[in-house]
Amino acid sequence: MMNFILVLIITVSFALIAFIYRLIKGPTSPDRVIALDAIGVAIIALVGLLSIYVKTTFFVDIALLLAILSFIGTIAFSKFIEKGDIIDRDNTH
């Protein structure tokens, strides 16, 4: 079982390297945002697999925190690409 977990950790690590390549070489900004989101998912998967490998539940809290931060970051980047501004300020009053 532990050999299988190690194979999964190595596979996700190679996928993480591919996502970093796409982040750097992405032809468009949406490609880079998707790559950044995929990097977040891969890191969360690595933390979960590491938690299984070392047989502890301590890393599960870290994975949940990373998931929340990754989601907020993806929303912020998407809004910035769409509108060019993250926080809308209405100065008409």
Domain coverage including residue 47: 2-83
Query: For residues 35 and 26, is the Cβ–Cβ distance under 8 A?
Result: yes
| Residue 52 lies inside a defined structural domain of this protein | yes
| Residue 68 lies inside a defined structural domain of this protein | yes
Total domains present in the chain:
1
At 51, list the tokens: 């938690």
Say whether pLDDT at 5 is over 90: yes
| Residue 90 lies inside a defined structural domain of this protein | no
| Residue 92 lies inside a defined structural domain of this protein | no
Which of 71, 78, 84 lies closest to 33, judged by CA?
78
**Model's pTM, two decimal places?**
0.81
Scan for tokens 């993806």, then name that residue. 74
Q: From residue 87, how far is each of 30, 70, 91 by CA, in Å? A: 19, 18, 12
Say whether pLDDT at 66 is over 70: yes
**pLDDT confidence of 33, banded at 50, 70, 90?**
confident
**How far is the C-alpha of 29 from the C-alpha of 23, rounded, in Å?**
9
At 22, list the tokens: 């796409």
| Residue 89 lies inside a defined structural domain of this protein | no
